[in-house]
Amino acid sequence: MSSMNSHYADTVHRIAVVPGSFDPITLGHLDVIARASALYDQLHVVVVHNPGKAALLPIAQRVTLIEKSIEQAQLPGRIVVASWSVGLLVDYCAEVGASVLVKGLRSGLDVTYETPMAMVNRNLAGVETVFLLPEPMHAHVSSSLVRQVAGLGGDIRPYVPGAVADFLSSALP
Ligand code: PNS
């Protein structure tokens, strides 16, 4: 490698954002976060309120559960957990110097749901979206299913990190 290239490698940091409602974080989300953290120098996992979804947990609680899940899973790399409520997601990206969003794709339904958002984020600010495939064992796992099963007293341990299962079993009636 030439000295110029090695200088470039020393100074350029690839920063990516993994956005979502994370209400709550699931094992599928954690799988995508782990894969993304292996690809980027710094990862921001950002909780964003989605007005189209009925919320279960306050944003701050979701952030705490993501932090605990990442800690318990001992994911390597620099991972920042944050929330964003003051504007577009691409504004957060600009604030932290990220030009890439990372999302997980479980099925063709996710492609249909994610494509317009990816196009809008690219058109708004040139922010690209990279899609990663989680392990197939997580393909059927969603936060909305977890909310439903937990709310009806079912066992959510197969679908969520231990920190989430512990919290929801003590918090929900
Ligand atoms: O986990 P979700 O609910 O599928 O995540 C969707 C989310 C929150 C990432 C999306 O709704 C979003 O990016 N909202 C921020 C507002 C915004 O920037 N909207 C325009 C581009 S989609």
Q: What CATH number is attached to the domain comprising 156?
A: 3.40.50.620
Tell me, yes or no, if the pTM score tops 0.85.
Answer: yes
Side chain identity, residue 15 = I
Task: Give the residue whose CA is nearest to atom 13 of ligand 1.
Answer: 89
Categorize the per-residue pLDDT at 2 as very low, low, confident or very high, splitting at 50, 70 and 90: very low
The answer on pLDDT for 7 being more than 90 is no
Closest residue to atom 9 of ligand 1, CA basis: 20
The domain total for the chain is 1
- What separation in angstroms does the CA of 36 have from each of 32, 62, 68, 114, 118? 6, 19, 18, 17, 17
Cα–Cα distance measured from residue 55 to residue 67, given in angstroms and rounded to the nearest whole number: 19
Quick one: which atom of ligand 1 is closest to the CA of 21? 1
Pick the residue with more confidence: 170 or 31?
Answer: 31
Does residue 107 fall inside a structural domain? yes
Identify whether 56 is part of a domain.
yes
Asked if residue 4 is part of any domain, the answer here is no
Residue 13 phi/psi, 5-degree rounding, is -115, 130
Range of the domain at 122: 12-171
How would residue 35 be classed by pLDDT, with cut points 50, 70 and 90?
very high
Q: Measured in angstroms, how far is the CA atom of residue 5 from the centroid of ligand 1?
A: 36
Inside any domain, residue 2: no
Is 149 among the domain residues?
A: yes
CB 144 within 8 A of CB 156: no
Determine, yes or no, domain membership for 62: yes
**Residues recorded for the chain:** 173
- HSE, side-chain direction, 13 A CA sphere, residue 123: 6
pLDDT in tens, 109-168: 999 999 999 999 999 999 999 999 999 999 999 999 999 999 999 999 999 999 999 999
CB 165 within 8 A of CB 68: no
Q: Is residue 3 included in any domain, yes or no?
A: no
pLDDT, position 51: 87
Distance 110 CA to ligand 1 centre (A): 13
Put the strands of the sheet holding 100-104 in their side by side order: 78-84, 42-48, 15-20, 100-104, 128-132
Burial class (CB in 10 A: 0-12, 13-18, 19+), 117: middle
Say what the pLDDT of residue 74 is. Answer: 95
Q: Is residue 41 part of a domain?
A: yes
